[in-house]
């Protein structure tokens, strides 16, 4: 074939499918223009290369130090595959076994402005390329053809992805790839963005939000170089608590032992196709103004109608909300809330929470959304405080973070927090502080902010599902923590 030209992306896909039917093993790659085949790392300019290598090093370090990613850290190719799919520069080049996926990538951004451009689908005959390289193997390291199964990388699964390890600046000086050209007038309609970039996230992809949040903070710090501003460094006590209050320190509570943490950190692989389902759950809201009752009513609906379905917690349930009472909420209230409920469900369902924990968390999420009037974008802190006060008794705003530097905020009831604090905490306090801090949740969180030392894990985890996580999925588009097991700090903002 070598190079042919057709009139449209649809014809290009059909031509690639004809090639595929030849019986030879072909991989395909869609490109908006006829760029030479080069890896993203090769394309990095000389002046940006050091920054790119630093980013890769941070990513490798993050994988190695994030609990639950031990299998990924031990598999270099899998770790690079994840990096490649999330835009980090690597020596991998993306391919797919499906011509339609290649057609999507070639035409995704097509418009009238790109009509004059020639996009292409590269067709790689795997066996032919291997045979060709045998003649060069003594002088040049051969490219590698990687068919990887990366645990919980749903993007790779959805895209039927394959990788060509290609460290050369211009491999096409040696080997000429077949190409199908077409005028880039419109996107391929048979494949949607959701088909290749699933909106729902796996356990791994939820964790990656922490990494990318920290990367954005690092990049912002590097870009911010004010002149004449004196930086003030404040050293916090290294023991995670105030030494005046806890003169002999505060030991970790035994409930945080490694064996107890393991099921909260290490989740088995979940194939995307296995998790997808046609189940869609409709939540009926009788009166969104009665938020306390709403939490209970929604919880009852889930426990009665959803959790009775066998294996439902292994599925990506769809969500709908129907407000029955004559109460003014935005017309798009349901469409705004549904993806937030999906995020909450996907973050909680595979952790060892009880069905009741999850159902109450979903109930609070609906109640908070109603109390907010469906306005999740309002940055005014008072807007969120009022909603929390309408749904929780004596809400306490919390800030918490992980070892990698990512952090989040949430609300919890004062009574819920008090009930989760280790019962023996007063025995470690100096006598002068016991009267002042005994029963004072805010005071305790100001003086002891390491969750392993301040809380009983078994009492804190339900509070995360029922109260803390629901706020996060409404308020945040970045890292969200669904259990306290990954936290190294938890206190007041």
Q: How confident is the model at residue 1 (pLDDT cuts 50, 70, 90)?
A: low
CA distance 271 to 235: 45
More confident residue, 461 or 232: 461
pLDDT digit string (tens) for 377-425? 899 999 999 999 999 999 999 999 999 999 999 999 999 999 999 999 9
Task: Please report the pLDDT score of residue 227 as a whole number.
Answer: 63
Task: Please report the pLDDT score of residue 226 as a whole number.
Answer: 64
pLDDT digit string (tens) for 187-211? 999 999 999 999 999 999 999 999 9
Residue from 200, 361, 352 nearest 277 by CA? 200
User: Do the Cβ atoms of 55 and 41 come closer than 8 Å?
Assistant: no
Quick check: 493 pLDDT over 70?
Answer: yes
pLDDT digit string (tens) for 16-47? 999 999 989 999 999 999 999 999 999 999 88
Task: Please report the pLDDT score of residue 441 as a whole number.
Answer: 96
Residue from 470, 194, 198 nearest 340 by CA? 470
Task: Please report the pLDDT score of residue 170 as a whole number.
Answer: 86
Residue with the two structure tokens 């645990």: 151
- On average, the pLDDT of the chain sits at 93
CA distance 191 to 108: 10
Task: Please report the pLDDT score of residue 6 as a whole number.
Answer: 96
User: Do the Cβ atoms of 490 and 400 come closer than 8 Å?
Assistant: yes
pLDDT digit string (tens) for 83-120? 999 999 999 999 999 999 999 999 999 988 888 889 99
CA distance 326 to 335: 18
pLDDT digit string (tens) for 219-269? 888 777 666 666 554 556 778 999 999 999 999 999 999 999 999 998 888
Q: How confident is the model at residue 328 (pLDDT cuts 50, 70, 90)?
A: confident
CA distance 270 to 278: 17
Task: Please report the pLDDT score of residue 116 as a whole number.
Answer: 85
Q: Residue 117 has which token pair?
A: 């451009």
User: Do the Cβ atoms of 411 and 395 come closer than 8 Å?
Assistant: yes
Helix, strand, or coil (residue 247): coil
CA distance 343 to 65: 25
With pLDDT > 90 as the criterion, what percentage of the chain qualifies? Answer: 81
pTM reported for the whole predicted model: 0.91
87: left (phi over 0), alpha (psi -120 to 50) or beta: left
Q: What integer is the mean pLDDT of 286-310?
A: 93
Residue from 307, 311, 331 nearest 321 by CA? 331
Q: What integer is the mean pLDDT of 438-448?
A: 95
C-beta neighbour count of 120 within 10 angstroms: 24
CA distance 213 to 480: 10
β-bridge partners, 402: 487
What residues have CB less than 8 Å from 245, skipping those under 6 apart?
429, 430, 433, 437, 447, 448
Strands 161-165 and 92-96, how do they pair?
antiparallel
pLDDT-wise least confident of 233-237, 434-438, 471-475: 233-237
pLDDT digit string (tens) for 73-83? 999 999 999 99
């Amino acid at each position: 074939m070598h190079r042919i030209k057709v009139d449209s992306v649809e014809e290009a896909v059909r031509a690639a499918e004809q090639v595929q039917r030849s019986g030879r093993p072909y991989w395909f790659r869609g490109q908006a223009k006829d760029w030479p085949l080069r890896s993203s790392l090769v394309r990095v300019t000389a002046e940006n290369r050091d920054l790119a290598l630093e980013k890769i090093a941070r990513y490798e370090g993050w994988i190695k130090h994030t609990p639950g990613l031990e299998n990924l850290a031990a598999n270099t190719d899998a770790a690079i595959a994840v990096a490649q799919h999330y835009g980090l520069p690597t020596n991998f080049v993306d391919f797919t076994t499906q011509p339609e996926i290649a057609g999507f990538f070639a035409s995704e951004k097509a418009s009238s402005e790109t009509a004059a451009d020639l996009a292409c689908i590269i067709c790689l005959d795997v066996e032919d390329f291997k045979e060709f390289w045998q003649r060069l193997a003594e002088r040049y390291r051969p490219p590698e053809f990687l068919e990887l199964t990366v645990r919980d990388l749903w993007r790779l699964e959805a895209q039927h992805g394959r990788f060509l390890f290609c460290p050369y600046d211009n491999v096409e000086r040696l080997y000429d790839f077949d190409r199908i050209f077409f005028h880039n007038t419109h996107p391929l309609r048979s494949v949607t963005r959701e088909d290749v970039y699933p909106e729902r996230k796996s356990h791994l992809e939820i964790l990656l939000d922490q990494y990318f949040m920290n990367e954005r903070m690092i990049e912002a710090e590097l870009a911010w170089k004010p002149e004449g501003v004196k930086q003030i460094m404040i050293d916090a006590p290294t023991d995670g608590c105030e030494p005046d209050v806890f003169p002999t320190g505060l030991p970790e509570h035994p409930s945080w032992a490694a064996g107890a943490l393991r099921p909260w950190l290490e989740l088995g692989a979940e194939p995307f196709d296995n998790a997808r389902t046609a189940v869609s759950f409709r939540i009926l809201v009788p009166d969104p103004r009665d938020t306390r009752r709403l939490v209970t009513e929604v919880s009852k609906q889930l426990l009665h109608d959803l959790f009775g379905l066998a294996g439902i917690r292994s599925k990506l349930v769809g969500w709908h909300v129907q407000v029955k009472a004559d109460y003014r909420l935005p017309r798009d209230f349901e469409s705004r809330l549904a993806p937030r409920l999906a995020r909450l469900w996907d973050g909680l369902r595979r952790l060892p929470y009880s069905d009741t924990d999850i159902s109450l968390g979903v109930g609070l999420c609906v109640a908070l959304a109603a109390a907010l009037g469906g306005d999740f974008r309002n940055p005014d802190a008072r807007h969120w405080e009022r909603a929390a006060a309408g749904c929780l008794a004596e809400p306490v705003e919390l800030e918490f973070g992980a070892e990698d530097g990512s952090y989040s905020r949430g609300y919890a009831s004062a009574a819920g927090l008090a009930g989760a604090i280790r019962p023996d905490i007063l025995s470690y306090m100096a006598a002068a502080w016991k009267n002042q801090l005994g029963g004072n949740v805010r005071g305790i969180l100001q003086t002891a902010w390491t969750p392993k030392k301040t809380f009983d894990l078994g009492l804190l985890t339900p509070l995360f599902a029922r109260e803390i996580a629901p706020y996060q999925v409404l308020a945040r588009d970045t890292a969200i923590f669904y259990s306290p097991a990954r936290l190294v700090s938890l206190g007041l903002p």
